[in-house]
Amino acid sequence: MTIEFSKPLKATETPIPGVVLYDLPVHGDNRGWFKENWQREKMMALGLPDFSPVQNNISFNEKAGTTRGIHAEPWDKFISVATGRIFGAWVDLRKGLSFGKVFTAELDASQAIFIPRGVGNAFQTLEDNTAYTYLVNDHWSADAQGQYTFLNLADGAANIPWPIPLDRAELSDKDKAHPHLADVVPMPPKKILVLGANGQLGRALRAAYDGEASVEFAGRAEFDLSSASSYTGRNWNNYSAIINAAAYTAVDEAETPEGRRHAWASNVQAVAELAKIATAHGIALVHVSSDYVFNGTSAQHPEDEELSPLGVYGQTKAAGDAVVGNVPRHYIVRTSWVIGEGNNFVRTMASLARRGIKPSVVDDQIGRLSFTSDIAAAIRHLLESHAPYGTYNYSSDGEPQSWAAIAADVFGLAGAQGTDVSGVSTEEYFKDKAAAPRPLNSVLALDKIKATGFVPPQSSERLKAYMSAEDSQG
């Protein structure tokens, strides 16, 4: 075998999405050779995912013609040849448009290839005493082997041009018995776990992902954030993202001793557990935040404004943001004035309007409504567009309004008079009431999420649509 020495490190895309072939610099002389088989920093700079390998396997093959595969495994692999030479064949067995796509190449010790989860791997040795090595990002187990997807080496649809015909090659009986492509059940994608799936945002996420088999919904019965067993009862390597729609949101009760404990437990301690899991398993953590992390003194709040919460609820949300911000793959989606299913400000005002009640509503708090269906759509957009990780503000767009102005709009849409709503200051409204301090300005800057291609709808149009839907439901 002749190895080409001193090639530059190079990455080459292949026809299979995510499969990348690497040329490795090999340095040698009369004594032998040396190479950096895997170098995280340099290879990540070339686009290799930070796949966090945890196990190194070596397949030694005594004779040329030894043929193994085609096995698609539930983890990512970085494959190289330690000694000898192979003909490699890779077939996409993932569910999707590229299912069945084939790539082949000869590899010696100066090459390596990255194989994502679900892409079938096979090789045939072209020299005696060939060693084929794998770095993988999950530990092998009998349970994991049950998640493999297989393809027959002789499949006609794949039509792999084996250098040594299979009838003269060394194959295992198991590999000979694997199914042909027409009978292969594609490997499904990793799952998305939605927590808090029975809350306002959780129900909107159920609607946004309706019919998606790869999305798992968990309410408190299925995932109790306060139970240690919830965090240990899953194989987290089967998940690509966690959307945390669960939170303690009782703003005023959070100021009480009991409420304070519950707020910190749900909004910080549970979030810290999710952050540890996401970091350890390379999962994207989507965390929903609040305008309450700000004191409300800015004309509008950009994502990078320093956190300055006024009350306990805001403090716990700010602490949760700080924790999630340290997860390598995270989206913090910061919202304001959330409206969805269940009890909310718009439904309350519509009910008052229909009953002829003329309320006093706070007129010195300014912001925009965020509708849960739109928040869910924004979250899905961030995940599917692979937007840069980080913090994104989200609310409806349009001219900011006070709560009193929104209430007047609701009254008009409900068939009453907007003038039935009178304004009152926050200080007057909460006089002699036990209430948490609130930011007076909750307007969120929306430039960052717009730059990803997601355009928030106008608040006035969304309010009309929401009220129309409410009316149609009786």
Cite the active site residues. Answer: 71, 134
- Rounded Cα distance between 326 and 461, Å, is 37
Per-residue burial over 436-453, b if 16 or more Cβ lie within 10 Å, else e, is bbbbbbbbbbbebbeeee
Give the C-alpha separation, 474 to 469, whole Å: 9
In whole angstroms, what is the distance from residue 392 CA to residue 373 CA?
Answer: 17
- Closest among 327, 319, 237, 322 to 274, alpha carbons compared: 327
Q: Are 152 and 184 contacting, i.e. CB atoms less than 8 angstroms apart? A: no
| Residue at 35: amino acid letter | K
Question: Which one, of 303, 462, 318, 308, lies nearest residue 394 by Cα?
Answer: 303
User: Distance (Å, rounded) from C-alpha 260 to C-alpha 256?
Assistant: 6
* Cis? peptide before 113, omega within 30° of 0: no
Angle of helix 257-264 relative to helix 312-324, nearest 10 degrees, comes to: 10
DSSP 3-state of 288: strand
Q: Helix (H, G, I), strand (E, B), or coil: what is residue 364?
A: coil
Task: Name the residue with tokens 């009978």.
Answer: 183
Q: Phi, psi (5° rounding) for residue 311?
A: -120, 180
Max Cα-Cα span within the chain: 95
Strand locations in 93-171, DSSP E? 102-107, 111-115, 119-125, 130-136, 149-150
Query: d(Cα 313, Cα 250) in Å, to the nearest integer?
Result: 8
162 secondary structure, DSSP code: -
C-alpha–C-alpha distance, residues 19 and 113, integer Å: 7
Q: Are 377 and 431 in contact (CB under 8 A)?
A: no
**Hey, is 330 helix, strand or coil?**
strand
Q: Which residue has the tokens 């060939």?
A: 130
With a CB cutoff of 8 Å and minimum separation 6, the contacts of 22 are 9, 10, 11, 12, 43, 46, 48, 111, 112, 113, 114
